[in-house]
Amino acid sequence: MNVLVVGAGSMGQWFARTVRDHAEVSVAFADTDAEAATAAAEAVGGRAVSTATEERFDAVCVAVPMPVAEAAIESYADRATALLDVTGVMTEPLAAMREHAPDSQRASLHPLFAPDNAPGNVAVVTDADGQVVETLLGALAAAGNRTFETTAQEHDAAMETVQAAAHAAVLAYGLAAADVSERFHTPVSGALADLVEQVRGGDARVYADIQATFDGADRVADAAARIADADRAEFTDLYDSL
């Protein structure tokens, strides 16, 4: 099976390496940064192709930033039997797949972890099933990932909590916290400080895309304001409502 990964970043490399290692798959990379595509191909064991390639593949996996996912899907929709994405949002990419690849196998996948933390949970919406999609999902499962079926609406609603709100809460603590000696940290503050460092180790552009795509941060801000303004009785009510 020949698979083209559009996007040579860490998630595209994770997908390519995983399916190559657990199925009979050869991989190619296309990226607007040709050097990045070449580097990814060398790192994973594959080849780089031009973004303008007319070659057909068994599968195309779109692994680009969320703001350009729909454009990438439109560009590569006619290049494969199966079209997938690992962009992290599902509603709009799946709609683009249905519009531009109505006769293809289609699936949206969201690995709920950074590649360095693989394997883990992978949310899946199989929009149009077939052998290619089943083989690729099987390869992910064979690597130890726990794939589970959901809907685009359920997934995107969940991301408001587990990504947009969670990241906002951690970043807000990091911005609000004073620089104190580690000797003073409690189990709660120490855990939060560790989460701040985990978020800081990522890519600001990815976190910005998440905040731009999903609601959730506003609810964190509202909750923090309610806590800050609460008297003792109101605070107790808020605490007890958890």
Q: Per-residue confidence at 16, pLDDT binned at 50, 70, 90?
A: very high
Pair 160, 129 in one domain: no
∠ CA 103-107-111, nearest 5°, is: 165
135 and 190 part of one domain: no
143 and 162 fall within a common domain: no
Backbone angles phi, psi at 233, to 5 degrees: -65, -45
For residues 89 and 157, the answer to whether their CB atoms sit within 8 Å is no
Q: How far is CA 77 from the centre of its chain?
A: 20
**Residue 111: its H or E element:** strand 105-111
180 with 128, same domain? no
Give per-residue pLDDT as tens, 107-149: 999 999 999 999 999 999 999 999 999 999 999 999 999 999 9
Task: List pLDDT tens digits, range 39-92.
Answer: 999 999 999 999 999 999 999 999 999 999 999 999 999 999 999 999 999 999
What pLDDT, in 10s, does the model give residues 195-235? 999 999 989 999 999 999 999 999 999 999 999 999 999 99
What range does the domain containing 184 cover? 154-240
* Number of domains making up the chain: 2
From 150, 185, 206, the end of a domain falls on: 150
Q: Domain boundary at 122, 150, 178, which?
A: 150
91 and 13 both lie in a single domain: yes
What is the distance between the alpha carbons of residues 174 and 167, in angstroms, rounded to a whole number?
11
Q: What is the pLDDT of residue 59?
A: 98
The predicted-structure confidence for 212-223, as pLDDT tens digits, reads as follows 999 999 999 999
Per the listing, tokens 């997938």 go with: 84
For residues 91 and 203, state if they share a domain. Answer: no
Are 57 and 83 contained in the same domain? yes
* Strands ordered across the beta sheet of 80-85: 47-48, 26-30, 2-6, 57-62, 80-85, 105-111, 121-128, 146-149
Which tokens is 84 given? Answer: 């997938």
d(CA 22, CA 140): 7
The alpha carbon of 113 is separated from its chain's Cα centroid by a whole number of angstroms, namely: 8
Is the domain of 84 the same as that of 114? yes
Same domain, 143 and 171: no
What percentage of the chain carries pLDDT values higher than 90? 98
CATH code, 80: 3.40.50.720
Please check whether residues 9 and 28 belong to one and the same domain. Answer: yes
Q: Which of 114, 130, 150 lies at the terminal end of a domain, its last residue?
A: 150
